[in-house]
Structure 1
Amino acid sequence: MKRLPTGLLPSIALEDSGPIYQQLADWFRRAIAEGRLRPGQRVPSTRALAGELGVSRLPVLSAYELLHAEGYLESFSGAGTCVAAAIPHEAPPAPTRRLPRVVAASAALAPRPVAARVAAMASPPQTWLKSQGAFRVGVPALDHFPHAVWSRLLSRHARHVGSDALIYGDTSGHAPLREAIVEYLATVRAVHADTAQLMITSGAQHGLQICAHALLDPGDRAWVEEPGYPSAHQALAAVGAVPVLVPVDADGMDVATGVRRAPTARLAYVTPSHQFPLGATMSAARRIELLQWAARAGSWIVEDDYDSEYRYGGRPITALQGLDTDARVIYVGTFSKVLFPALRLGYLVVPKDLLPAFRAARDALDTCSPMLPQRALHDFIREGHFARHIRRMRMLYAARRAALQAAIRQHLPDALHVVGAEAGMQLTALLAPELDDIALSRRATQAGVSIRPLSPCYRGETRCSGVILGYGNVDEDAIEEGVKRLRECL
């Protein structure tokens, strides 16, 4: 530790680590902001200060140059270097690399104000995410992903990357990829759209945020499923919209109740093919009823089709968007569940008259998604790897779903009541009402098991206790062991 004696300047302390020029610049900023150095006050020459500190003159020169550029110091012929006269006598605190301890302590005691809507966007602590074991929700079979193929495709585009892939891309995404997705959706999901209507997003959640920003104003009411996807509430809270809780039964969202509670709601958010978290499939009657309400009320429907590729009782259910004759449905899809979550690529299918609003909202949020993964994904689809991977995963997940159901029947026949096991990569099991599913998830985390509690998916007063068990990234041996550990936790 080196110190400059008081007299010319207050004491300057240099730490043993970190660039000296940065430490000096930080010290001068703080001293000026706190009034220890006054406007017009002369400071030592670089040579003198370097000698007093016992350091090279170069870092002192660098610090002075930085402070000159920022307007803290100024030089005069024959008068040396002084604190800038333009600095106010009551200067605000200057930005530094680290806050003084007293400031950090006071900030902890008196939190500084943030936007009120942040409280509605915040989610409770998700302790189940701390465990990487069975039964993490939303994670596909990563060890069965064709890593070699994907690496080859990425390398191909990285080696031959052009300048057009290194600049900001089209707000709607890579056109060839959009065309490939449109053809896939038309074949598999009966979605009606052209390439211009499809927008690449950075995942499904990003798609929901774009929908909220493009369609909702503060105070607008929006139907949401109860129980439902918690992150949908976050997207609504971000724009100040008011959620209207609409209950879900075996046929999906109860449209009649939604009409009674908010007949002119601006938007309805639904997961009709595989309701999250209870797993119901919306019946044909409810789908028609929902579409008729949207056309009559002039409202919008956001269809989140997050894992429709995996259905074990036959072909995937036709998308709600494919039944829409009034262009009221915005279709949301993602590659996180079929490929891997870190890819961060999803898509929206938008009615043509809404495209300008959606492009403006998307441009304001993040301009465009990374181009290199989009190009690799285009080849992945066009060369047939995508379809082959889905076929393999459908068989794998069906076997793992059967293994999980068998393990529950063997080890927890009276404790868990399984619902919603016909599709996707997770199933939900109800617990006895007196059991606390959040406490159970915490105990399971300590046992190396990741289970997601059901009750936080409810926002109203009536809640069910249960667990959501993901089986996508868990082999059959780990499924058996995980259920045994869960039995011990219960």
Structure 2
Amino acid sequence: MIISPVFDKESSKALYIQLYEYIKTEITSGLLKPDSKLPSIREASSSLKLSKTTIENAYSQLVAEGYIENYPKRGYFVCDLSEYNFQIKTDIQKNIIGQIAETDYINDGVDKESFDISTWKRLYNKVISDDSTNIYSSGSIQGEKFLRDEIANFVNTMRGGHTSSEQVIVGAGVQYLLGILIGIIKENYNTVAVEMPGFNKAEYIFEDHCFNIRHIDVTDNGFPISALRKSDAKLIYISQSHQYPLGTIMPVNKRMELLDWAYKNNGLIIEDDYDAIIRYGGMPIPSLQGLDKNDCVIYLGSFSKMLLPSLRISFMVIPKKLLPKYNIIKTRHTQSTSKIDQLVLANFMKDGYMLKHLRKIKRIYKKKNLLISTSFKNTFKNKLEIINSESGLHIVCEADTVKSEEKLQEDAKNSRVLLNIISKHENKIIFSLNYSGININKIQDFTNLLKKIL
């Protein structure tokens, strides 16, 4: 049998790997039949003008993976793999590739002018130069104590909370933290109520852990506590300070009613404080955790919108009554967030840069909010109505369109616009649209693009 691969000697891939991959493909595609004999190492070396070591390394890898077998004094033979189907149909392969591909949305992320890179670099160098950082060891499972202290102080002063660093758990994203929470509470809770519409990615985590899901429809009057009372849920996931995606705010009487429900039903409230600190009219709405007198609220926060999505640092504040159970199961987990990044963030907060940053982004996003609202009104006229744009980093609108929901989603994705369709009835659509990543000088261009999509 003759082996005749074409080698790329300019490639960074070693020659023995190129030969190994070539023979492997010949076998899995069926071109090399079972029991076919491969050239000896000496023969292959001579014909391919490669060293014997290169041939031997390629053959050894194929033997190790079970594609060929070495019989002493007989040589190398192709194994019978006919019972395995190595072929992937072209259309299926294209579909798989299409599913893997991710879209870089124009309007997602944060404003590129909002983050002080130079300060972050300086603090990063400070952290890695400090011997006490000990960058050669892994960090705390719960999160670095320095950062947990700063987060507790931030929640207490900026969000009206009352917590300590012992209650704070740091992790890479809300979904990761929910997984930890479920490990703490699953013996006593198996049903969760969620807002509809709401944050789907949180709901998926509960589904993955086989929780029963109870959808509570958010109406024009906000979240109906009466519907929650009628359900069998003793656990609720809610964003009361700035509901996602509708942007509504739960009034204080309903917040107290929700806390009363939790107290009387031995229930738990998971409060997702999604971008609630960014508010354009008046002060941010205090957290539910700060109003809680009965240890019923789990508070979730993230620095993705406040700072950078790529930072991947979120946190969870658990009630004191859950601490004993958490301390039992905490060693099941590993810390998912960089120790170095945690300490840089802690210094960023301690040195006052976080407060300065928050003031800066409020100015940026308030201006961007006004510009995009004005652009929408001037461009769409009476074919689009802005329902909510008073806080957060997304705007909620109702617009005229003759397109189906599927076509709208397809056109939006093809145009790299992240469009969250809340509802579609006849020729009307209600949607929320994140605007934080839009270049402030290209807002009209973005508006024109959205008009084309709708």
Q: TM-score, structure 2 length as denominator?
A: 0.83
Q: Is 1:482 equivalent to 2:446 in the alignment?
A: yes
Q: Is 1:243 equivalent to 2:227 in the alignment?
A: no
Maintained 8 Å contact 1:172/1:198: yes
**1:146–1:217 distance in 2 versus 1, CA, 3 Å:** same
- Which residue of structure 2 lines up, in the alignment, with residue 141 of structure 1? 111
Superposition pairs of residues 179-328 of structure 1, within 5 angstroms: 179-216=149-186, 220-260=190-230, 262-263=231-232, 265-328=233-296
Greater shift in the superposed pair: 239-248 or 214-223: 214-223
Maintained 8 Å contact 1:33/1:91: no
Maintained 8 Å contact 1:213/1:239: no
Q: Is 1:452 equivalent to 2:419 in the alignment?
A: yes
Candidates 1, 10, 16, aligned match of 2:7: 16
Superposition pairs of residues 335-346 of structure 1, within 5 angstroms: 335-346=303-314
**1:454–1:210 distance in 2 versus 1, CA, 3 Å:** farther
User: Hey, what's the Cα distance between the residues in 1 that align with 2:226 and 2:401?
Assistant: 27
Match of 1:179, SS state, is: helix
Candidates 367, 379, 384, aligned match of 1:399: 367
* Offset, 1:242: 2.6
* Offset, 1:398: 1.9
Match of 1:291, SS state, is: helix
User: Hey, what's the Cα distance between the residues in 2 that align with 1:170 and 1:436?
Assistant: 49
Maintained 8 Å contact 2:189/2:235: no
Superposition pairs of residues 31-430 of structure 1, within 5 angstroms: 45-66=40-61, 79=73, 100=86, 103-105=87-89, 108=92, 130-132=104-106, 136-137=107-108, 139-160=109-130, 164-216=134-186, 220-260=190-230, 262-263=231-232, 265-355=233-323, 357-358=325-326, 367-430=335-398
Maintained 8 Å contact 2:401/2:427: no
Match of 1:422, SS state, is: coil
Q: Percent identity?
A: 24
User: Hey, what's the Cα distance between the residues in 1 that align with 2:75 and 2:408?
Assistant: 66
Aligned residues: 444
- Which residue of structure 2 lines up, in the alignment, with residue 119 of structure 1? none
* Offset, 1:191: 1.6
State the AA in 1 paired with 2:214.
Answer: V
* Offset, 1:374: 0.9
Maintained 8 Å contact 2:411/2:453: yes
* Offset, 1:469: 2.6
State the AA in 2 paired with 1:427.
Answer: I
Q: Is 1:472 equivalent to 2:439 in the alignment?
A: no
State the AA in 1 paired with 2:89.
Answer: A
Q: Deviations over 1:461-480 (max 9, x none)?
A: 99972232333333554334
Q: Deviations over 1:421-441 (max 9, x none)?
A: 221111101224866455445
Unaligned runs of 5+ in 1: 1-5, 94-98, 113-123
User: Hey, what's the Cα distance between the residues in 1 that align with 2:253 and 2:215?
Assistant: 20
Greater shift in the superposed pair: 21-30 or 207-216: 21-30
- The CA RMSD measured in Å over matched residues stands at 4.0
Unaligned runs of 5+ in 2: none
Q: TM-score, structure 1 length as denominator?
A: 0.77
Maintained 8 Å contact 1:173/1:368: no
State the AA in 2 paired with 1:104.
Answer: I
**1:163–1:56 distance in 2 versus 1, CA, 3 Å:** farther
